[in-house]
Amino acid sequence: MPIRFARRTLGVLFLVPALLAACAAPSSSSLESRVQARVARATQLAGEDLKPLLGLCRPQPATRASGHTVDEVIRRLIAQRPPAPGRVFDNLYFVGSAWVSAWVLKTSQGLILIDALNSEEEARTIIEGGMATLGLDPRDIRYIVVTHGHGDHYGGASYLAQRHGARIVASEEDWAMMTGTLEFASAVWPPPPKRDIAVRDGDKLVLGDTTLSYHLTPGHTLGTLSLVFEVRDGTRQHRALLWGGTAFNFGKDMPRLQAYHASTEKMRRLAADRSIDVMLSNHPGYDSTVEKLADLKRGSTAGAHPFVGGVGAVDRSLAIMGECSLAQHDRFSM
């Protein structure tokens, strides 16, 4: 009897961890309910003004796209007609394409270019051409900040740096990726620029009357940089956050999705602390840059600046991205 009892007891003891794990792991139905709740929350937060961000809540593929498929998609996106460049604030200008943004921040001692599009050709025609249209001299570019190490953001950086003597800035993590194994290697993009200035979370770039702070927001890449700086509209000053990498194009990478959510929460706290009231993207489709520029030119906003959404809208934007990252995490967990 004691032996049989001991065996039964051991059997029960061995079952306990499995039973506990089964109880701890959410069922597929509960995960599906959680996904629906997260998407509903994001949709509520988006209202009418932030609907473009809801594309992040759509189901994403479990594998990262590669090869000829990526090349063809990139070519189609590049082929879109670029929008007209425009002055967004007294010291901030848009010189990007229909797919990718490029921003020029004007300071009292030169220009800071944020992202450099896909190629030398785009750097010449869209960035330099757009700057000439806006009365800006590309020779005044002092720094080129690459928000993350994908070719649509670093593609024209080498050309512009060599031509105008500018320095190239990226995070330590993404320099390691760009000088090592690329996450996305496409025949459409040139090789990454040579390693130059590496920055870490919380570092600052001070140029003349302007201070730009770098914030590491891993997710889209391991070293995505989001930027905070002041913009001016006449006598009014605002603080802008440029989110450095938005899409979930890295497949079923659960730690990356968790890092993305943590980054949105980190920047929500910072945005509240610093009263950030302007939210920008490095892809114009996420922040409606082209539409807002058109409104600005038409003067059809009854005195309100279309790019100034307010502190609440910045918080909602970050919360939407966070909810969508968690929804995707839950989908992959099913």
Least confident of 63-72, 87-96, 164-173: 63-72
Question: Which residue, among 109, 73, 104, has the nearest Cα to 91 in the 3D structure?
Answer: 104
Query: Per-residue pLDDT tens for 227-277?
Result: 999 999 999 999 999 999 999 999 999 999 999 999 999 999 999 999 999
User: Is residue 134 pLDDT above 70, yes or no?
Assistant: yes
In 3-state terms, what secondary structure has residue 170? Answer: strand
* Residue where the block lists tokens 């979370």: 201
User: Is residue 15 pLDDT above 70, yes or no?
Assistant: no
User: Is residue 13 pLDDT above 60, yes or no?
Assistant: no
Question: Which residue, among 330, 333, 263, has the nearest Cα to 39 in the 3D structure?
Answer: 330
For residues 152 and 76, what is the distance between their CA atoms, to the nearest angstrom?
Answer: 13
**Is residue 193 within 8 Å of residue 167, measured between CB atoms?**
no
Query: Per-residue pLDDT tens for 21-59?
Result: 444 567 888 999 999 999 999 999 999 999 999 999 999
Nearest-10 Cα torsion for 122, 86, 94, 109: 110
**Structure tokens of 334?**
């099913």
**Is residue 118 within 8 Å of residue 100, measured between CB atoms?**
yes
Predicted structure pTM score:
0.91
Strand order in the sheet with 225-233: 204-207, 210-216, 225-233, 236-243, 278-281
